[in-house]
Structure 1
C-alpha cells in the first residue's frame, strides 16, 4: 500500500485577481500566500498563453525536488497543494476540494473584495478529505445537534462525547489526555460525524487561558519576518503585540488589560493564532 504524501499547505487563489482567498497550513514548508499567489498566477497565465490549444494539458505540477506544487483549475479559482510528492490520488482530492469550494461559496466568490477570513468555514470540508493532516491538536470538536437515540456509537465515541458533555471546550489534546486515546484514533472516530454535519471543529479562547508561542513559530521567526508581516497585515501592530504577549504566564484577560485592548478583539486574534498553530495552550482554568 502506497502511503499518502505529506501535505504542507493548501491554497485557493482567485483566477481573475491572483489573490489568495483561502490558505490552510498543515506542516513543513512555510510559503507566503500572497507571494505564492502571484507566482502561480504568473506561471499558469504564461503556460496558458504559451500553449493555448493544449486544452487540459496545461501546467499542473511544479516539481521543486524536496516538494511539489500541484495545481488544479476551477471556473473561478486555482487550487494548490504543496506536498512532498505528487500522486494521482492526492490530485483527485484537490480537484474534489476545488469543486466543493466553488459550489459552497458561489455567491461569496463573485462578491469577494479581498477580505480576510470569509472562507474559513471551509476547514471542516478540508478535514473530510484530508482527515489525518488538516486538524491541529488545539481544535475543539463542537456537537452541532443533539444526537438521536438511534445513532450508533462505538465505545470510544461514547467516551469522547462524554468528555465533551462534561466540558464542551475540551480540545483534541485534552480529549486525548482524558481518554488515553491518541489524536489519530479520536479523529477516526469523529470523522463520520463531521461528514454527516453533526460535528464541526472550532477554536475556543477563554479569558482564563494561558498561551505561549509554539516552538515551530519561534523557529520560523528566527528564519525571517514573514510571520510578523502576515499578522500585521491582518491585525495591525496590535496583532504582533498580542503574539509576543503570550509568555506562558499571563492569561488572556491579563494580556487585554496590559495592552489596553478589548478582550473580545484579543480573543479573536488568539483564535486565529491557534488555528494557524502560532501559539499553544499552557493552562486552562475552569
Structure 2
C-alpha cells in the first residue's frame, strides 16, 4: 500500500509539471530549457523576470510581495501568468519548475535531491561554463527525466519483444493482463498511448482504486513491457501518414474534393460531368452487384464501400428510388456488421469469464452493452441489456 501511494505521488507530481528551466545562479542566464506539456513559456523572459524578482526580494531594504522564502530551505514560490513557479537555489545553479498547482512535499524533496546530485555529477561542466561561458548539457536531459519521473507522461508503446517468462508472469496477474490487452487496443488506432488514458480506460472497466491500477501499469513500465517513444519519431511517422493520405486524395480529384467523410468515395475515378441518367443507372447497378457479392462472402467493409459509391452517384442525379433502395441496403449491412460485432464481444466476454479473466470479460461485455445501447436497430428494452449490466456488477464484485 505504501509503495502504491509513493508511485501515485510520483505520477501526480509529474502531471503537475509543465516546464523546467535550469539557470546560472549568479547571472540568471538560462542553461537548460525543457518543456513537458508543450505549454507556451518564453524561457528567456521568465529567466529575466525571476532574476529581477529574486534580486529585489533579497535586498536589505525591501521585502517582496511576490516571492516568499519558505523556512530556511530557500524555496521561492510565486505566480507567473496562470502558472505556479517553484524555485530552488543550489550552490551554482537555480532550478525553476513551472507548475499547474502548488508543489507537493515530495516534489520539493525531488528538487533538493536533483540539485545536490546534479552539481556533483556535472561539476566539471558547470566549472567550464563559469570559465568560458560555454555550456554543454550532455546527458543532462536524461538525468532530469529520470529524477522527476517524466517518462510517466511520455507516449508509450509495447516492447518489440517480450520474453515468454514475462508473458507468463503477466498472465498470472489479472490486472496486468487486462492492462496489456487494453494497451494493444489503444495501439490499433495510434502508434502510441499515454499512461493517463490507459489508467482511465481500465478504471471504467472495474471499480479498483486508481493507485492500484497505476501500480500495475508502473510495473509494466519498470519491466520494459511498456516503453517510451521518441517524440520526433512519432511526429515523423504522423507526417508520413498525412503525406500519403494527401497524395491519395490528390490522385483522385476532382470527385474526391466534392465529398468529405464518405469512406471509399475517394476511389471513385469517374467524371460526373460526362455522365447522364442512363450511364449513372448503369454504374449504380455495377456498384450494387459488387457490393452484394462482397456481402455474401462476409466482406462487409468492401460491400459498404461499393454501396456508398452507388449512393453517391444516385444522390448526384437525384434518383430517389435508387437512393431509398441503396440506403436500405446500407442500413441492413450495418445491422449485420453490428450483429457480428455483438456476437464476437459476447463470445469473447463469456470465454474470458469462464477462464477467470474477469477484467477482460468486463471489457468485452461493456463493448457488447455499448452496441446494444447505442445502435438503434436493437430494441431499447432488449433483455440482454439488463442481463449484461447485472453480469458486469457481479464480475466487479468478484474482483474486489
Q: TM-score normalized by structure 1?
A: 0.49
Q: TM-score normalized by structure 2?
A: 0.37
Query: Whose radius of gyration is greater, 1 or 2?
Result: 2
Greater relative contact order, per chain length (Cα 8 Å cut-off, separation 6+): 1
Higher helix proportion (structure 1 or 2): 2
Higher strand proportion (structure 1 or 2): 1
